């Protein structure tokens, strides 16, 4: 899978920077999310994409369907359970929760990581430099609001596909 992803990125003229995570379990956030072209980073995907035959392929790749109509707390609990049931799992999620501009990001990824006892990798998609990277590593604290403010501030220099749709809270 890793080699296929790198080959597809190479075909598109993109690079991957850094090393892949050493941990067997982690939440990886993918920022900025302003375009459908960001989708190769997703492991959680809205359930509407799970139609035949695409749904079979996505399930084979361990992509988890998400019902965005359900309350966020149900999704958080579902992901915590997934982490506890698996020997290894990388949950890649976009904290903005939408391709539209949002001043506030969703906190669920931090709640999931803390409850599952896993770290968060601060992933980045850089459209200007045409690269993706995973890192640095962040361990959530008890103060979700402070954690989120810190994480959002680390993306002050983000280069999204559509800059008008991105906000890191500033």
Q: pLDDT tens, 60-118?
A: 777 777 776 666 568 888 889 989 988 988 888 888 866 666 678 889 899 999 999 99
Residue 85 covered by a domain = yes
Residue 47 covered by a domain = no
Q: Which domain holds residue 146?
A: 2-38+79-165
Output the CA–CA distances (angstroms, integers) from residue 97 to 12, 109, 130, in the order listed.
Answer: 25, 10, 22
More confident residue, 131 or 71: 131
Q: List Cβ neighbours of 87 (8 Å cut-off, separation of 6 or more).
A: 24
Residue 41: pLDDT band (50, 70, 90) is: very low
The total of structural domains in the chain comes to 1
Residue 65 covered by a domain = no
Average pLDDT estimate for 124-138: 89
Residue 8 covered by a domain = yes
pLDDT for residue 116: 96
Residue 21 covered by a domain = yes
Residue 53 covered by a domain = no
Q: pLDDT tens, 11-40?
A: 888 888 877 788 999 998 888 666 655 544
The structure's pTM equals 0.75
């Amino acid at each position: 899978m890793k080699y296929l992803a790198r080959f597809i990125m190479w075909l598109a003229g993109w690079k991957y920077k850094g090393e892949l995570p050493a941990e067997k379990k982690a939440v990886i956030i993918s920022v900025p999310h302003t375009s459908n072209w960001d989708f190769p980073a997703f492991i959680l995907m809205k359930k509407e994409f799970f139609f035949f035959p695409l749904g079979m392929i996505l399930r084979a790749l361990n992509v988890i369907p998400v019902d965005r109509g359900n309350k966020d707390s149900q999704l958080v609990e579902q992901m915590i359970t997934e982490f506890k049931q698996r020997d290894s799992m990388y949950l890649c999620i976009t904290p903005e929760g939408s391709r539209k501009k949002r001043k506030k990001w969703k906190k669920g990824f931090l709640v999931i990581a803390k409850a599952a006892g896993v770290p968060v990798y601060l992933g980045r998609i850089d459209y200007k430099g045409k690269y993706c990277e995973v890192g640095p590593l962040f361990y959530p604290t008890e103060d979700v609001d402070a954690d989120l403010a810190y994480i959002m501030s680390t993306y002050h220099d983000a280069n999204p596909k559509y800059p008008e749709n991105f906000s890191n809270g500033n």
